[in-house]
């Protein structure tokens, strides 16, 4: 990772660690051995959308590999960085492909985020009235990023609790 998405990933890591009271590892998806994901219970994946609706190339190259891991019983949350004004028809499109790969691997997706207050005209990352994960816009709304991450991480902590209460085996969080 590099650029805005890497900076955002660091902020998410710190916020999540504070919210959950555990150590959180921040890893580069371009280099990570995806087998390591099978040892984690909560996996947070971030990506920008590039080249009008495309995944960044390091993600594109590894999407199939992610889809073929065994992530049954794992919770996966997604966040995306994009530019809703510059690319209003394809805002955060890359999250859709990552969501589909994680689902194909058997993961349970958490962390949907309301579209209320966002201005865009199209996105593959929609699930009903929600985005499939946290929607960020470092090009136009960077002043909102930290607050959005704080609210989202608190939401994730609640959803992890609910998943545990619902019987999903979430034994330990990433250490």
Q: Does 46 bind ligand FMN (CB under 6 A)?
A: no
Rounded to 5 degrees, φ, ψ at 135 are -100, 120
Contact status, residue 149 vs residue 12, Cβ threshold 8 Å: yes
What is the distance, to the nearest Å, from the Cα of residue 24 to the centroid of all Cα atoms in its chain?
Answer: 14
Nearest to 12 by CA among 31, 25, 28, 30: 25
Q: Which of 78, 92, 102, 163 binds ligand FMN (CB under 6 A)?
A: 92
Residue nearer to ligand FMN on the CB measure, 38 or 58: 58
Residue nearer to ligand FMN on the CB measure, 57 or 158: 57
Q: Does 90 bind ligand FMN (CB under 6 A)?
A: yes
Nearest to 63 by CA among 106, 104, 107, 101: 101
In the stretch 10-39, what mask flags binding to ligand FMN with x, by CB under 6 A?
------------------------------
Contacts to ligand FMN by CB under 6 A: 3-5, 48-53, 81-83, 87, 90-93, 138-139
């Amino acid at each position: 990772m590099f650029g805005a998405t890497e900076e955002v990933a660091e902020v998410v890591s710190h916020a999540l660690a504070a919210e959950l009271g555990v150590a959180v590892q921040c890893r580069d998806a371009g280099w990570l051995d995806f087998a390591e994901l099978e040892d984690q219970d909560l996996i947070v994946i971030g990506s920008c959308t590039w080249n009008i609706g495309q995944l960044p190339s390091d993600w594109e190259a590894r999407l199939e590999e992610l889809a073929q891991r065994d992530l049954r019983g794992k919770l996966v949350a997604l966040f995306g960085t994009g530019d809703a004004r510059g690319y209003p028809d394809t805002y955060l499109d890359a999250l859709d492909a990552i969501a589909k790969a994680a689902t194909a691997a058997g993961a349970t997706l958490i962390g949907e985020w309301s579209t209320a207050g966002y201005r865009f005209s199209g996105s593959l990352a929609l699930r009903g009235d929600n985005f499939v994960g946290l929607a960020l816009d470092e090009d136009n709304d960077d002043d909102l990023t930290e607050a959005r991450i704080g609210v989202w991480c608190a939401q994730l902590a609640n959803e992890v609790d609910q998943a545990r209460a619902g019987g999903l085996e979430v034994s330990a969080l990433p250490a």
